[in-house]
Structures are given as structure tokens and as C-alpha cells.
Structure 1
Amino acid sequence: MIRVLLAEDQALVLGALSALLSLEDDLEVVGGAADGEQALDLALTLRPDVLVTDIEMPRLSGLDLAAKLRERLPQLRVIIVTTFARSGYLRRALEVGARGYLLKDAPAAELAGAIRRVHAGGRAIDPSLAESAWEDVSPLTERERQVLVAAETGASTAAIAQALRLSEGTVRNYLSEAIGKLGAGSRVEAARAARDKGWL
């Protein structure tokens, strides 16, 4: 029996996924979480075999959740299920250790098959995204990405510098580099462009 934990902030979707997966003879849904922090706590307590998580959730994103679980429960397999058909998200998911990346409009049988494949040590990636993930590479460094994420909220240069423990001059340099790489006219435009690509 494959023990599955679900993390999804929309109650209706969480209930539907749980009901559909419970129909499979070899899958057992051991819990459901409405946000990333709750999913982390449940994973550490329940020790499931596979976590199926949305990418965008309150308190802790699916990508951040996968990164934390890779450190604390390396044997746990993570599958991202999302509406975002963006190769940048797929690349980031793979970088933080996710073994699967599926779109929410995929048939339920595909998700069940993906859980089995990932549990067995394989990967399950939406074929429409697999090829483009290696073509659409983010030009941003990790620090540029962090600064843009902070800038996206409208934070001042001083606030970003304090939050990331950098000097204001360094933050301005990172912002300038990111804006230039993305061909944007401002930090907000650069953040929006990077977000649209799935790079933030």
C-alpha cells in the first residue's frame, strides 16, 4: 500500500483528489493539508511515501515545502500538481527534489499512475512541459531572484537590504542586473516578467 499525503489550499480540490485516489486499491490517503506549514508538520508526523502538493499555497509554497522535506525526509517522494504550465516552475520543482510535475487538468488515472511511478523511483513529468523546461532557462542568479521576489511586494531598497542582510548598494546592483537581463523598464515590470515565466 502506498501512503499518500495531499497538500492543497482549495478545500473542494483537496476533497476531490482524496476521494479519487481512495478508489485505487493500492493507494491510501493518510492526510490532507490546507497550507504548506500544515503539510510539513503532517509529513514529519505521518511519514507518508508520497506527497502530492500544489505549488502556490499559504504559509509555505509547494516548492519551499519540497525543499524542506528533501532535507528532513529524503526518502519522501514529492509530486507537484498545479495549474501553472510554465517550464520555469518545472525546473525549480526539479531543483528542489520533486519527482513529479503534473497539471491539474490531467485525468485522475494519470495522477494515480504518477504516484506509483514516483514511488517506484521514477519520474512523472507532464510531457508538454518536459522538453521546454530545458530550453527556457532563467537568466537570473539566485540572489537576483530573491531580490526580485522582495521587490515584487513593493518593498523599498532599504527594506529589501535589511531583509536579505545586504547593503542597499548591493540590492540596487542586483535589481539593475535583473532588470537588464529581463529587458524590463522597472523592478516591478522585471518581477512581473519573471513571475510570468515561472522564475520567481
Structure 2
Amino acid sequence: MRTLTYFVATSLDGFIADPKGGYGDFLFEGDHLTAQVEEYPDTLPAQAREAMGIDAPNQHFDTVLMGRATYQVPDGLPSPYPHLRQYVASTRLNTTPDDVEVVADPLAKVRELKAEPGDSGIWLCGGGRLAAALLPEIDELMLKIHPIVLGKGIPLFAGEFPTARFAKASTRIFDSGVVFASYAKADVG
């Protein structure tokens, strides 16, 4: 069964980017990055994969969904993840100049993608408002918690959303201070 995983870096105080959408304060060196490269090569943008000489097959995901601001990050690539099917959720964009498909109703799109055959995952890579809108469909949270406090910025989940409960699946602490914390959607009964 296909699942939706919110795999994202966050600060200790729950921000995925600074107020302007930048992420320069996050750690880009260290043993946590080595683990991400080895275990989640599919989550690296094309530019990083090329610079690092990574030609590894996708291990977890065949599809990525991102918010408009994540897709249009300053100095970003027009097609950041060409090794995945790419979707950008936006009501402002109509088209993109590349192979990224624009979707106006991300909740319906995720439900359609989850209904497809196979077991490759769907990666929600960013957008606090998008994450809040998709919270009912998020099956797993994979948080890369960086040892920084931003104080303000784009929150992990932004806007109004229903309470959701998750159960701890795993935790890994790296020498860099980054923690990978994984949570699975909890059965509410």
C-alpha cells in the first residue's frame, strides 16, 4: 500500500525554514547527511545528487509533493527531483516550465496517488500549510531535527488542522546533533 511520508528538516522550535523560506541555518555537513545520502538518496535534489556523484536508485519514494514556496525556493532548480514524479500544490501557478505538474487540490491528488498499485512511497517534502492540509493523509512523519532555534519562520504545520496522534517508530541521534525521529500515524480507537 502506498503511503504519504512528511520527510522534512526542522529546528528544535518547529520551523522548517526562516521567515523568507530560507534554510541556510540548517546543518549541511555531518554524519546525519551521510546517513541521508545512503538511506534516502531519493530525497536529494538533482543538483546535490550530481555534485555528490549519486546515481543510486530510489529506495523509498517514487513521487514528491511540495508546496509552491518549496518548489520556488530562491536559487532552486526548475525541476528539483527529476528522478521522481513531481507535483507542486498551488492555486497561484497554472503551469511550470518543466516536468513538475501543478495540482490545485492536493488532498484529492494524494488520495488518488495512494490508490495507485504498488508500495513505493509518496514524499511530502515541504510546505507548512500544505502539511496541515494533508495531515489527515500523512501516514508517517520523518523529522530531521537540527540543533538550532530559529525563533520564527515557517512552521512544521501552519494554519488550522485537526488534532492528529502519531506513535514513535524510531529515533537516531547523530554526532552532528541532528536527530532523525520517525513517527507512524497512531490508530485512534
Higher RCO, Cα 8 Å, sep 6+: 2
Q: TM-score, structure 2 length as denominator?
A: 0.31
Larger strand percent: 2
Q: TM-score, structure 1 length as denominator?
A: 0.29
Which is greater in Rg? 1
